[in-house]
A and B are shown apart, each in its own frame.
Chain A
Amino acid sequence: MAETTKSTAKYWLFFIITLAITLAMLIFVPAWFWVVLPFPITFFVLALDWM
């Protein structure tokens, strides 16, 4: 049976974008950075195929 490989490129891209947004928020509006915090972590975990 052929083994399918899952592409994680999409998740790496989302991780970089959301990380940039989180860092920007941490610099400019630190009181609100927690709102976007779950996204880079979730995409990082998905990109590493841990879930």
Chain B
Amino acid sequence: MPRRVAYLLSVVFHPLLIVSYMLVILLMMNPYLFGVNNWSGQIRLVIILMFSTFFMPVLMVGMMKKLDLVSSLELADRQERILPYILTGFFYIVMTAFFMYHPDTPNAFTTFVLGTTIALFASFVVNLFSKVSAHATGMGGLVGMIVIASWQFSSGTIFLQLGGDVILQVNVVVVLGLAVLMAGLVGTARLQLKAHVIQDLYGGYLIGFLSQFIALRFIF
């Protein structure tokens, strides 16, 4: 895999973006779950979520770089990841608590957000002793989320609105297969960039995947 492609995959599937992807997939699986069935409402929902799950943590790491608290934005060193994990975890806890006690939030989404927060703290604890891939944790969580959603919250079909009234229907098993392939590709990209060794990836996939099922058990 060329280095540029590996870097692009690492950026597109950044762990902080995974919750937003989860929301997009859930909206495509069941558009009426959130009570918004138009494009603008759905995009607004995704942007609100991205504010606390992506923009704020990225801003914080950027500030830490400016203050020389971290040497690079990639946080290659295991020790450097401790503070960003704690600060990001704070945002994820606040967001999870908000969704858990907000009556309009569907339980399906609360489960996935809780799963992500559990994965984040599990990664933090494991990271104290051994490096774990946050990308693999995110992708493991995404696969776990699609597995749970396909079992519990969908009719077995994903609806892709291609503009206007054209709607493409895709079997959820195909989406699951694609998610597994993407998880593998992201892992390969991390190995290609020499950011991790394969054990870091296995640990990450396991933490991400299992966290979603722990959250499911907790909510339902």
Contacts and interface: CB of A to CB of B under 8 A. Distances in A.
B181 interface: yes
A34 B173 contact: yes
B176 interface: yes
B153 to A, nearest CB: 15
Contacts of B177: 33-34, 37
Interface string B172-198: 010011011101100010010000000
A38 B184 contact: yes
Interface residues of A, number: 10
Contact of A30 (B143, B173, B179, B180): B173
Contacts of B183: 38
B184 A51 contact: no
A47 B24 CA distance: 36
Interface of A: 30-31, 33-34, 37-38, 41-42, 45, 51
Interface of B: 143, 150, 173, 176-177, 179-181, 183-184, 188, 191
